[in-house]
């Protein structure tokens, strides 16, 4: 495996991992005083489902979503950049000689 292929594979796997983490379901924990800690479902970092919440549950969901987005988006972007870099970078031409001189005269 060439370094270019390895970088493409690593970039692809990293981008997929970032996308999976963005799609995983989230839940937020908040203190409901009389009932102790409560957990609420917040959707995912890509599609939030917080319309039905107010005050404490809403803040718990916002915190959970922003924390997930803070690290999952950079993972996805880094993988995408690595994959794009591996695709865009050209390989050395097979017909060139090591000294840079053309011997086909």
**42: closest CA among 59, 24, 14, 61?**
61
pTM for the full predicted model: 0.74
User: In the prediction, which pLDDT does 100 show?
Assistant: 57
- Determine the pLDDT at residue 98: 59
Q: What is the pLDDT of residue 14?
A: 96
Give the Cα separation of 83 and 12 in Å (integer).
Answer: 6
Residue 69: CA count within 13 A, CB half-sphere: 12
Tell me if residue 26 falls in helix, strand or coil.
strand
Q: How far apart are CA 27 and CA 16, in angstroms?
A: 22
Query: Which residue intervals of 24-104 are DSSP H helices?
Result: 56-88
Question: Which residues does the chain have with pLDDT short of 50?
Answer: none
């Amino acid at each position: 495996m060439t370094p270019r292929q390895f970088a493409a594979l690593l970039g692809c796997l990293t981008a997929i991992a970032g996308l999976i983490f963005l799609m995983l379901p989230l839940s937020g924990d908040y203190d409901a005083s009389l009932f102790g800690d409560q957990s609420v479902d917040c959707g995912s970092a890509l599609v939030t489902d917080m319309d039905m919440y107010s005050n404490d549950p809403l803040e718990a969901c916002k915190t959970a979503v922003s924390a997930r987005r803070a690290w999952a988006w950079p993972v996805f972007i880094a993988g995408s950049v690595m994959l794009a870099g591996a695709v865009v970078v050209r390989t050395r031409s097979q017909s060139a000689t090591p000294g840079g001189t053309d011997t086909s005269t």
